[in-house]
Structure 1
Amino acid sequence: MVDRLNEDALDRLSEAIARPSYDRLSMKTGIVHLGVGAFHRAHQAAYTDEVMALDPAWGIVAASLRSADTYDALEPQDGLYTLSVRSEAGEALRVIGSISRVIVAPRAIEDLLAVMSDPATRIVSLTVTEKGYCHDPATGALNEAHPDIIHDLANLRTPRSAPGFVIEALRRRREARLPPFTVLTCDNLPSNGRTVKRVLTRFAELVSPALGRFVVEEVSCPSTMVDRIVPATSDDDRARIAEALGVADAWPVVTEPFTQWVIEDRFPQGRPAWEEGGAEFVADVEPYEHMKLRLLNGSHSTLAYLGYLCGYETVAETMADPAFVRLIESLMNEEVAPTLHMPAGTDLVPYRRALVERFKNPALKHRTWQIAMDGSQKLPQRLLGTVRDRLRDNAPINRLALGVAAWMRYVTGIDENGAPIDVRDPMVARLQERASRAGPDAERLSGELFTLREIFGDDLPRDPRFTGSVTSALKKLYAQGAKRTVAEI
C-alpha cells in the first residue's frame, strides 16, 4: 500500500472518497494563484476542480510568497490534497486535483514570473490576506513606505510582494505584446477589485507612466465575494483523514458545507465555467461584499476578540454561551443589517440565521486566536465601515464599539488573568508600544490607539460619538471583564 497520497494512490482509495473525474495529465496551466493557503485550497481550487473536466486548460500553478510549508506538503503528493467537509451530520472527503504544482517564490522568482508571463496564463488570482497588498487599510492606497514596496521598486526583476510580482509580470507581457491576464483578488478588501486596481496602478505609475496607463486601460480586476469558514488543520484532522484514506495526507484542508463565490464577469481572456461548480456571476459584487464583510466577518472578529478574552478557544465554544448568541444576533439585526442595500428580492433573514448556525458548528475547531490575527488590517473593512454608516445616520453603535474595544484590549498583549497574548499583526510593535505607554487605563489606551490613522482614518478619532462609545466599552472590559460585559449588553 502507498503510504502517501499521490497520483499512484488514487486508484487505491475507497470508493467513498471523491477524486478528480478528469485526466490530470491533460491539464494545462491557465491560472497562477498567489497565496496558496488553506482558504484557496478549500474554495477557489475546489470550484476549479469541479469544472476541470469541462476544459482542462484551467489548471492552477500555485505560489507561496513566503513559506515553503505548502510546497513541502504537496510536492511529494503531485499537488493532490484532501478536502474535508465537516458538520454535525458527519464528514465527506474529496481529493482535489486542480493544482498541478506549487512554487515557493523566494526560491524560484524567475520560475514564477515566467509562468505568469506565459501566454497560456489568463488569470492571476490572489489570497494573500489583507496585509499582502501592502496598502493603507483606511484609504485603500498603496503604502509607498512599505519595505517590500520600496524593495520591489528598486528591484523590479526580483520582487517580494504580490503587487511587485503582478506588475513585473504585466510589464513583461506588455513588452512581449501579449494581452494582460485578469487579476482576480479573493481577499476581504472593500471593493476588492477596485482596491487592487488602485494599488497596482499606483505601483505601475511609479515604475513608468506608460506602464501605469497600460494597467488603467488594459488590466481587468473584477471584484469578488468569497465565503467559507476554513479553520487551521490540526494533527487530529491529519490522523483522522489518513485513517479514512488509507494513506497519509501531509496537509488536508477542513471546512464547512457552506460555500459561496460571487464574481463580476469581466474576464477578457476567458475563464473557467465556475458557474457550473456553483459560483454566481453578477454585474456588481459590492452589495454582496458588504453583506459578507459586515455580517460574517464583522461578527467573526467581534466573536474572536471577546471570545478569546473570555477564555474560549474556538468560535463554536464561544457560541455555546447564550450571551454571545444574543450579542451576535442583535449586532447583525440591529446595527449591521440597516446599513446594507441589497438587490431587490434578497432576503437577509435566512442568511443571518445560517451564520449563527455556522458559527455554532462544533465540527469546526476554528480558533478565536486564528481569527484575531492581523486585526489592524481587518477592522477598517469588518467594523469601521459599518460604524461610519451608522454615524452618518445618527444611529447607535454600542455593539460595534464593543468589538473595537475588545480588539484594543486584546492587542495590549495581556489577557484578563495577566497571561501573555501572542498577538500576530503587522503593526504589533506600534500597537504594543502605545499600549505600554497607556498602561491599564482605558481612556489613555483608546486615545493612544485612535492616533493610528492607517486604521481609524482622520474622521473617526474626531467624532466623540465613536471615541466615547469605544472608550466606554473599553472601560467596562477593564472593570468587569468580557464575560459580564457581553452578558449585560
Structure 2
Amino acid sequence: MKNIIALNQNNLTNIAKQIPCPTYPRNELTVGMVHVGVGGFHRAHQAYYTNMLLEKFNVRDWAICGIGLRKGDQKIHNVLNEQEGLYTLIVKHPDGKIEPQIMGAIIDFRLGVDSPKPVIQRMAHPDTKIVSLTITEGGYNFNPSTGDFDFENQDIQHELKNPDSPKTIYGFLTAALKKRRDSGLPAFTIMSCDNIQHNGDVARNMLLSFAKRQDEELANWIEKEVCFPNSMVDRITPVTTQSDIDYLEKTFGLQDEWPVTCEPFIQWVVEDNFSNGRPEFEKVGVQFVSDVKPYEKMKLRLLNAGHSVLGILGAIHGHPTINACMEDETFVTYLRAFMDEEATPTLDKLEGIDLNVYKDSLLERFANPNIKDSVSRICSESSAKLPKFLIATLQENLDSGGSIQFATLVIAAWCYYSDKGMDKNGQPIEIIDAMAAELQQAARQTKTDTLAFIKQKSLFGDLGQNERFTKLYTEFVQQIYKDGSIKNQMQTMI
C-alpha cells in the first residue's frame, strides 16, 4: 500500500514524481484576479487557463483569490486553505485515458459570510484588476420572465439600507468600487463566466440597477469606468465523487479532499473589453473577439439546452447520467432532432463555425463514458436555466412559425418531474432548485388545471396564452400523466 501524501506546497516535490505539478514560484505570485464562486467549473476552466499562463510564460501578477459569499462555500474555503490553494484536476478522455495535474493558480481564499471586510479589502486592493464571477443564473437576482432586477429580495433590501454590511455580490461590488473610487484607484473589470446569454450585459444591467438605488453618484462612476465583457465558457465538469478522491489515493497515494474532474474539451471566447488590463490568455488558447454574442447563443442553445433536454427526459426515464442517456438510441435521435429542427434555426451566422461539426462534437462529448455527469446536476436550478436555454428558443420558434414539439415535450416533462419527483420505476429523483416548492405546488394543480404549471409568469411569461403552444403542451402533459413513459412519447416523434 502506498504511503499517503497530503496535498500541500511542501509535498509538491514528492507529488511531482507521479503527477505534473506547478513549477512556478507560488510564493512570488500576486493576486490580479478575484473570483467569486469557486466551484468545480471555475477550477477546471479559468483557474486552469491561469495555471497554464503562470507555468509557461513567467507571469507573476495574475494569480487568483477565491471568494465565497454563501454559507455553503465554507467547505471549499476550508479545503483550499488546508491545501494552500492546491487541488488536482482530473481530465477524463472518452478512450479511458485519465490525466491528473496539480493546479496552483489560486493562492488565497476569503469568506464574506460573517466578515465582509476582508473580501471588500481584497477587491479594492490596487493589485486587483479583474473580479470574475461564476455565481450561477440565480445569483444575478433578476426576474427570469421580465429580466428586471428583483428588489424584493430581503438581502438586497438589507444592503440598500446597510451598504457597509453587504450580503450579495452586488453589495460587495459596490462597496469595493466605492473604496477604489474614493482612493483614486482605477475600476476593476467585472467578468461574468456564467452560462447566461449576454452575461456581461446582464451583470452590468443588474449592478447598475442596484447601484442607482443605493448611490446614484457611484452608479454614474461605475457606468463610466467599469467594463463588463461578455464571454462564452465551455467545459463539462461533473460533480466530484468519492470515487474520484479514492482514485487519487489508491493510484498515487495522494490525499486531495476536493479534486475536480472534467472532459478534455475546453473553450473560452471573451470580448476584449477590460477596464484595467488583462492577462494574455490568448497565449494559452483563449479567443478574444469584438462580439461574443453569436458564440454564446450557439453554445447556450445547443450544448446547455441539449443538456437540459437529456437531463429532464432522462431523469423521468430513469437514466442516472448523461452518458447513459447517450447509450440509448431514442435519446440520441431525439436530441439531434431538437438541435437540428428547433435550436439551429434560431442561431446567428458564425464565421468559421461548421454547425454540423459542432453538433457532432457535442454528441461525442455527452457520450464520454468516463465523465458520468449526473442528470441531477444537469437538472439543478432548472428554474433559472430553462428560461434562457430552452424557453427562449421555444418563443423564437413560435414567433417564426418553426418547430416547437421537441422543446414543448421537455416543458411538459418538467411539470411531471416537478410534481411526482420520481422516475418511471418509482425511484425518487433528486431535485435541486431554489424554486422546487413553487414548481411542485404549480405542477400538482395539473390534474384540475392542465395549464397550471405554465401559468407561472416569472418563468414562462405569456406562453400560457399561446394557443399553438398550449394545445401541444396539453396533449403531451395528458399523455405523460397517463402512463409515465416519456420514452414512448419520444419514439412517436422521431
- Same-fold call, TM cutoff 0.5: yes
Contact 1:413 1:422 in 2 (8 A): no
- Map of 1:70 onto structure 2: 76
Contact 2:376 2:432 in 1 (8 A): no
1:429 equivalent to 2:440? Answer: no
1:408 equivalent to 2:415? Answer: yes
- Displacement, 1:2? 6.3
Contact 2:192 2:199 in 1 (8 A): yes
* Alignment RMSD (CA, Å): 1.5
1:470 equivalent to 2:473? Answer: yes
CA distance in 1, matches of 2:428, 2:443: 13
- Displacement, 1:3? 2.7
- Map of 2:284 onto structure 1: 277
CA distance in 1, matches of 2:470, 2:218: 43
Contact 2:321 2:372 in 1 (8 A): yes
CA deviation vs aligned residue, 1:211-254 (integer Å, no higher than 9, x gap): 22122211100000011111001111101022333220000000
- Displacement, 1:358? 0.7
Aligned in 2, Cα 1:345/1:278: closer, same or farther, shift over 3 Å?
A: closer
1:341 equivalent to 2:348? Answer: yes
2:469 aligned counterpart, secondary structure: helix
Q: Residue 475 of structure 2 aligns to which amino acid in structure 1?
A: S
CA deviation vs aligned residue, 1:257-284 (integer Å, no higher than 9, x gap): 0111010011121111111121111111
Which residue, 4, 15, 19 being the options, matches 2:21? 19
CA distance in 1, matches of 2:44, 2:411: 29
CA distance in 1, matches of 2:444, 2:399: 33
- Map of 1:235 onto structure 2: 242
Which residue, 218, 240, 246 being the options, matches 2:253? 246
1:412 aligned counterpart, secondary structure: helix
- Displacement, 1:444? 2.1
- Map of 1:85 onto structure 2: 91
Contact 1:140 1:199 in 2 (8 A): no
Q: Residue 60 of structure 2 aligns to which amino acid in structure 1?
A: P
CA deviation vs aligned residue, 1:320-377 (integer Å, no higher than 9, x gap): 1100000011111111111111323321111100100111111012100111111111
List structure 1 runs of 4+ shifted beyond 6 angstroms: none
CA distance in 1, matches of 2:380, 2:158: 25
Contact 1:435 1:448 in 2 (8 A): yes
Aligned in 2, Cα 1:376/1:429: closer, same or farther, shift over 3 Å?
A: same
Which residue, 120, 127, 146 being the options, matches 2:153? 146
1:39 equivalent to 2:38? Answer: no
- Map of 1:309 onto structure 2: 316
- Displacement, 1:413? 4.2
Aligned in 2, Cα 1:436/1:460: closer, same or farther, shift over 3 Å?
A: closer
1:61-460 correspondence to structure 2 within 5 Å: 61-66=65-70, 67=72, 68-89=74-95, 90-415=97-422, 416-438=424-446, 441=447, 444-445=449-450, 447-457=451-461, 459-460=462-463
CA distance in 2, matches of 1:245, 1:323: 40
Which segments of 5 or more consecutive residues in structure 1 lack a partner in the other structure? Answer: none
% identical equivalent positions: 38
CA deviation vs aligned residue, 1:362-414 (integer Å, no higher than 9, x gap): 10121001111111111111101111221121112110111212211111143
CA distance in 1, matches of 2:473, 2:282: 43
1:60 equivalent to 2:83? Answer: no
Contact 2:315 2:429 in 1 (8 A): no
Contact 1:187 1:226 in 2 (8 A): yes
2:6 aligned counterpart, secondary structure: coil
CA distance in 1, matches of 2:268, 2:471: 38
CA distance in 2, matches of 1:332, 1:112: 42
Contact 1:302 1:403 in 2 (8 A): yes
CA distance in 2, matches of 1:255, 1:346: 24
Matched residues, number: 484
Contact 1:30 1:120 in 2 (8 A): yes
- In the superposition, the TM-score normalised over structure 2's length comes to 0.95
- Displacement, 1:198? 0.4
CA deviation vs aligned residue, 1:42-72 (integer Å, no higher than 9, x gap): 1110011110243210110001221211012
Aligned in 2, Cα 1:231/1:60: closer, same or farther, shift over 3 Å?
A: same
CA distance in 1, matches of 2:232, 2:141: 20
Aligned in 2, Cα 1:360/1:2: closer, same or farther, shift over 3 Å?
A: closer
CA distance in 1, matches of 2:48, 2:148: 31
Q: Residue 194 of structure 1 aligns to which amino acid in structure 2?
A: D
CA deviation vs aligned residue, 1:168-222 (integer Å, no higher than 9, x gap): 2112212222211100000111211111100000000011211221222111000
Which segments of 5 or more consecutive residues in structure 2 lack a partner in the other structure? Answer: none
